[in-house]
Amino acid sequence: MELHFMGTGAGMPSKERNVTSICLNMNEERGTMWMFDCGEGTQHQILRTSLKLGRLEKLFITHLHGDHLYGLPGVLTSRSNHGAETHLDLYGPAGLRAFVETALRVSEAFLGYTYTIHEVEEGVVFEDEQVRVLATKLEHRIESFGYRIEEKEKPGRLCHEKLKALGIPPGPQYAQIKRGEDITLTDGSRLKSADFLEAPIPGRQVVILGDTRVLNKTIAFSKNADVLVHEATFGQEREALARKYYHATAAQAAHIASEAKAATLILTHISSRYQHGEEQTLLKEAKEQFENTHLARDFWYFSIPRKTASHS
């Protein structure tokens, strides 16, 4: 599981940073990729990476400002041109359906796959046996959401040695125990699966927030996240400007990460006012409150390590 940053700028592109888009590469876990926001030029950015639009399974939009949305028609049609035939799910605020359907209708675009648009509200927006995604409303000029991706707990390692010691050969019963099912042997004795499984492996938690003023509610939403991705449009010297335009500073993002007890904070959505190394001041301000902070840049990626088995 890796976060790939396709665009890390705010408002408009610069020579150093394209507008916002983040890919969550889950090739190992699901054989797919998810995308969060799709600013103009995102399809061009992806061409400079090893990521493939054909593997795009879900696309989440935080809000409908152009720097998070205008690349969507190009990504949708390029995905088709790359030969993708699998279904695509799109999630975002009310208005996403009108934008997508209008763009595709007016341009007479052809998509060689089906898609579903989900206009989200707060709460669970997707869940299957592997992962759950929750949304929360933020505070921005227009409706804006944050998403929490929760990987579900996995069963612990099967204790093959203990089973073999009881004379049970590898086979279907091993699979039953791995699934957490108790089994009955031919002699009538019953084995509890919990006695033959190591401690379960906790799932990873990733929080990706859209544009927002600093909000206390995001502390609970980001609680114990392995990674929190938070906007840091401005430095402390522009805190009043950040509030005026419904954005956050790097130091405010660090405060949220610290209070939420997140493991890692990644700053993105950097104003074009900070170029040629000036953005390092944002990183410095954040690290004063939360040491494990990274400043994202275009084409940078962050690997999210698997957690060790829980023994609680």
Residues marked as catalytic:
67
Name the nearest CA neighbour of 2 among 19, 26, 31.
26
Q: Burial letters for 190-206: b for 16+ Cβ neighbours within 10 Å, e otherwise? A: ebebeebbeebbbbbbb
| Tokens at 221, concatenated | 């939403």
Q: What gap in Å lies between CA 252 and CA 286, rounded to an integer? A: 8
- In angstroms, the CA 146 to CA 27 distance is 23
Q: Is 68 annotated as a binding residue?
A: yes
The partner residues of 25 in beta bridges, in order of sequence, read 2, 33
187 assigned binding-site residue: no
Containing H/E element for 116? strand 115-119
65 is annotated as contributing to ligand binding: yes
Contact 55, 27 (CB under 8 A): yes
For 163, phi and psi rounded to 5 degrees? -70, -40
Per the annotation, does 276 bind a ligand? no
Per the annotation, does 269 bind a ligand? yes
Which residues are part of a known binding site for Zn(2+)? 63, 65, 67-68, 140, 211, 269
Residues making up the binding site: 63, 65, 67-68, 140, 211, 269
